[in-house]
Structure 1
Amino acid sequence: MKRSRMLDLTRVREAAVRIRQLSCLDVTGPHLAPLLLRELRGVLAFDTGGYFHPGADGRLESFMEAPDIQAMVPIYLDERLQRDERRVARSYEQAARTEIGPQVRDQLIKVPWAEFQRSDYNNVLLRPVGLHDCVSLMPRHADGRPVGSIKLYRRTTLLDFRSDELHEFARLERFLAVALTPPEGTAASHEMDAQGTEMLVATPEGRLLWMSAQGAALMAAAFGSHWRPSGQLPDSLKLVLQRLAWVRSGHNASDAPRLEIRNAHGLFTIRGCSLHAAAAGEPEVVGIQITLHVHRALRLLQALRLLSLSPRQSEIGFWLARGLSEPEIAQRMKLSLHTVVYHRRQLHDRLGTRNRKELLARLLGSLAGAQS
């Protein structure tokens, strides 16, 4: 028997305010997907979520909250599974052309339910990770342009997505579209914080020889469906090693052996480097250093969310830590200067800080402590 839950309107309103705030910041893009999915839990009940979007090269990229589902993405993008998806359900390309508003499972499936249950798409991809229900939304701008596809999954068939939940989800579509759209230009290097560095060992030809578990996690996050944990490295990474060989052989060193990848996880910088010379008779090896950088503003948002502040106080704290003056904050948030000053004092009192520098250090320090 199907069950349903009552909608908590207070929780819905708070989540909606936070999502609208995220759409007004200067750090929009796919890297906000984790925060947006967390806030959407105040609007709909779901077990895990994901976000699919076109990458810089036009190929489909993904962010999935659950590691077991993220590990299935390369299987999902296999051509055989893609063909079967197009046969039994809407593909990303079909959804981009036709999908308007939230779509529940029965709207996403193109064949009878019994036939869908027998499909490879269901039995190879969905059932192994326990995904039984889904709602999909392709956020679009006012002119109809889609930015990607948000998928919210349930691992049970005993709870329906309610019509009032879907209504609230639909009301947030424009804000979600803006929040997930990358801004013009890229963040300055001083605004990005390194969050992890690992070294891989490979042959100069691009065959992986060794990596740590942490390195494997970074590579999977950077390359997504294009990463295989064994065998040959991705072509773009082989090109980095080719450039390293040119540099080592005396060619122009200005063409640095470096690769940058931006996606929902952050900015990845990947460098080729020479290791010690191989002894006689031993194969030559090279190093691949991968570093994840996260925008400092995103870390601030995460830290402020942990403090359980009101949405207004959280946003004022964000802009204070970013270095805006109180009049600038008042103008941006359409508040009186008195209100901004009041919340600034409250925030400093709560955190035991006296100025912006201490506020920034306190917020980033509390986030590091929570993640350790």
Structure 2
Amino acid sequence: MVTRWVSRLFDDRYAWLRLTLLALSGVGYLLMRADVAEPYATIDWVFAAVALSLVPLHARWPLAGALASSLVVGLAVCFGEAAPVVPEVGATWAVLELALRAPIRRVGIGVAALATAHLLDHLPSDLLTWLYDVAITVGVPTLIGINIRSSHQLARQAEQRVAVEAHAARTGERAAIARELHDLVAHHVASMVLRVGVARHVLHDADPRVTEVFDDLHSSGTAALADLRRLVAVLRNPAMVADGSAYVPIEPGALPAALASTVDRAVRSGLTVDATIDPAVAGLDTVRGLAVLRLTQEGLTNVAKHAGPAARARLRVRMVDEAVHWEITDDGGGVRGTHAEPGHGLTGMRERVEVLGGTLTAGPDGTGWRLRTVLPAGVRQ
């Protein structure tokens, strides 16, 4: 806990906070000096003020701040009359900030400059004291800064490794799903489409209603197979998602026609659908447009599944202040009632809506059922 707190304290994001506290401590020291035996002369106040004014440099330009602080220490040692406490503390902290963020070569330059400044205070013969002074005021902050920086680098590398491993795991999962879709689902769909096509040609003298059903099955299966192939391509190439070219089954602006086609397909299956589609949905971004299309397809499928082909459904898609108001209701078809249990389709619809910042409302509505959501304004593609 203590180590984590110290590591966060010396994060680059809190550099200004650290330096503000440093400046305030320097001002407090100058205001509350109790050592009147060694009073500050004007030149000492000047050096202290200059040292405090250099504090902002440590955050923006750490090497320049360290060199300037070392120069002030050297001048204060040579020309000052009192011990240059404020300049020395400022220079020590400057070396620490330098070690936290600068390359080793620049750190070495700053350390050499401050060590030279301290050497001026111990010439000509007090070299042992100088070594001790340098070890405490230069060596310790340098080691602390390098150690903290190394810890931050190790933490970032660990995060990168976790991210790379997670990405590799997701890529593997996507590849496995792609194989399953290709080997199982797509294979069976292709087989069904082929058999329906054969039946269309073999039963050339069949009832026109049967032929119409075969034609609808063949076109639906062909479209589903094309969608599956595109989805497999996306799963096998994640870059298609990362660069914004992810699979979108409709072109921008074609949403009204796609919704009308979905309603027409539901009507051909036996449902009675009263659809009101705002033409303004043609200006939707592709993400919300795809969501509206999928919600409509799944919603009408649920009506047929739970209320039966004799049900009456009502679809409303409106644009209000750039938000999409979507709703499907049905009369229950005399069989649905209020006991219908939500399945995986409803769960998928809710997840799709929540990703876009909306909330899906589903529940009984008289003798039937109602699905409703509002998709808030999104970023245009």
Normalising to structure 2: TM-score of the pair? 0.19
Where relative contact order (Cα < 8 A, 6+ residues apart) is larger, the structure is 1
Higher Cα radius of gyration: 2
Normalising to structure 1: TM-score of the pair? 0.20
Judging by fraction of residues, say which structure has more helix.
2
Judging by fraction of residues, say which structure has more strand.
1
